[in-house]
Structure 1
Amino acid sequence: MGDFKSEKPLRKIAEAFKELEATINSETKEVEVAPFSHACSLVSPLFGCLGIAFKFAEMDYVAKVHDLAEASKSIGTLQSVLDKDVERNCVRKAGSHSRNLLRVKRGLDMVRVLFEQILDTEENSLKNPASKAYAQVFAPHHGWAIRKAVAAGMYALPTKAQLLMKLNEDESSARIQMQSYVASSVPVIMYVDKLFLTRELGIDW
């Protein structure tokens, strides 16, 4: 994964999630699939920057975001995504838009925890932040083989300085964008959870 040169992926992520948060706080509160999947696609490069430990997450996340982007051509809102799958009785089916939405939400949550942990430490190593984020969000849903592969890959993580260089950010600008994403992603993640919970579909599968 090369550097982004003049691009500022963290800034794009922060801005996109600020807009989603504004939609959730607005009168309509209806989040459309297209802007949601676009915002999520901006997060994809982060997994690539973390290297081999998160290769599985990157591949899985990118595929699921792509599915939601395709769905946005015929489905308007995230609410409709779930309602259509409930109608067809395929919410939990592998490959369903609803299942993919839940998986994408976990990716957003992992990045949120990772950023919180990075902001919370002065260390240059990302091993603790990445391990905590993985353990909190992904590990409960993964089998032993994937957990073992991730643990092995943690030793090949970039340092924080290397990550920021890849993202074309310095320490102070990165902190601002990470704080912004953490703040904005919380209501977005809660919104997605609520879509599932109000339909009594659960979020732990």
Structure 2
Amino acid sequence: MDPNNVERPLRKISEAFNNIANSINSPQQQEQEVELELAPFSHACSLVSPLFRCLGIAFKFAEMDYVAKVNDLCETSKSISTLQVMMEKDIADDCVRKAGSHTRNLLRVKRGLDMVRVLFHQILASQDNSLKNPASKAYGQVFSPYHGWAIRKAVAAGMYALPTKAQLLQKLNEDEVSARTEMQNYVTACTIIVMYIDKLFQSRELGTDW
């Protein structure tokens, strides 16, 4: 098989998020709030969906919820240019916290991105082939506070069906060295993006803890 034709989802993810982080951090943007375009952002988010699939049953709930909300943002990007415009429209329509609002969906998508960031960070910090600890910590830190007992119990049970790190890398067509590079790139870029989205919510006094 031609190695150039192999699907490398991790590389695609890290490149897309790196581009977005760079646009947020560009020197000419330092003075005022950066207008982040919705189309490239939602496309980058869509690249993360296969990762949830690779993690199996433990994160099935996250995959279904994440994919649905990313699809909404992708669809919305056809008619709304930036995250700011999208949020201002929901604020004007007084529907920010209503189920199905684009701003609420953005908050949920941000949590999905953050969960993957913490997962990668934990994988990079561990020498273990098991993903149970990294995945448990990522879930506990990002999702668990917002979930009821039934979902938390289902996730805990699903942790025993996680792939090993070696199996995950095989699914992603990465070796240990290349995976570490791409994961670290994503962690760095995603940290900038998550902080940026949090700031969008805080500056509009919307909070993020809901």
Q: TM-score, normalised by structure 2?
A: 0.95
CA deviations 1:122-147 (Å, max 9, x no partner) are 00000000000000000000000000
The whole-number CA distance in structure 2 between the counterparts of 1:31 and 1:46 is 24
Matches within 5 A, 1:82-97: 82-97=87-102
CA deviations 1:70-115 (Å, max 9, x no partner) are 0001100001111000000000000000000000000000000000
Q: Secondary structure in 1 aligned to 2:13?
A: helix
Corresponding letter in the other structure for 1:47: F
1:38 and 2:46 are equivalent in the alignment: no
The whole-number CA distance in structure 1 between the counterparts of 2:50 and 2:72 is 17
Offset at 1:20? 0.3
Q: Name which of 24, 48, 53 aligns with 1:48.
A: 53
The whole-number CA distance in structure 1 between the counterparts of 2:133 and 2:170 is 20
CA deviations 1:150-197 (Å, max 9, x no partner) are 000000000000000000000000000000000000110111111100
The whole-number CA distance in structure 2 between the counterparts of 1:192 and 1:91 is 15
Unaligned runs of 5+ in 2: none
- Answer with 23-32 or 147-156: which moved more: 23-32
The whole-number CA distance in structure 2 between the counterparts of 1:89 and 1:54 is 32
Residue 22 (structure 1) aligns with:
22
Q: Secondary structure in 2 aligned to 1:190?
A: helix
Corresponding letter in the other structure for 1:181: Y
Q: Name which of 147, 151, 155 aligns with 2:156.
A: 151
* Maintained 8 Å contact 1:23/1:30: no
Q: Name which of 166, 170, 173 aligns with 1:165.
A: 170
CA deviations 1:12-53 (Å, max 9, x no partner) are 000000100111012342110000000000000000000000
Corresponding letter in the other structure for 1:151: A
Corresponding letter in the other structure for 2:166: A
Unaligned runs of 5+ in 1: none
Number of corresponding residues: 201
Q: Secondary structure in 2 aligned to 1:201?
A: coil
Q: Name which of 90, 107, 113 aligns with 1:108.
A: 113
Structure 1 segments of 4+ aligned residues over 6 angstroms from their partners? none
Matches within 5 A, 1:40-79: 40-79=45-84
The whole-number CA distance in structure 2 between the counterparts of 1:156 and 1:193 is 32
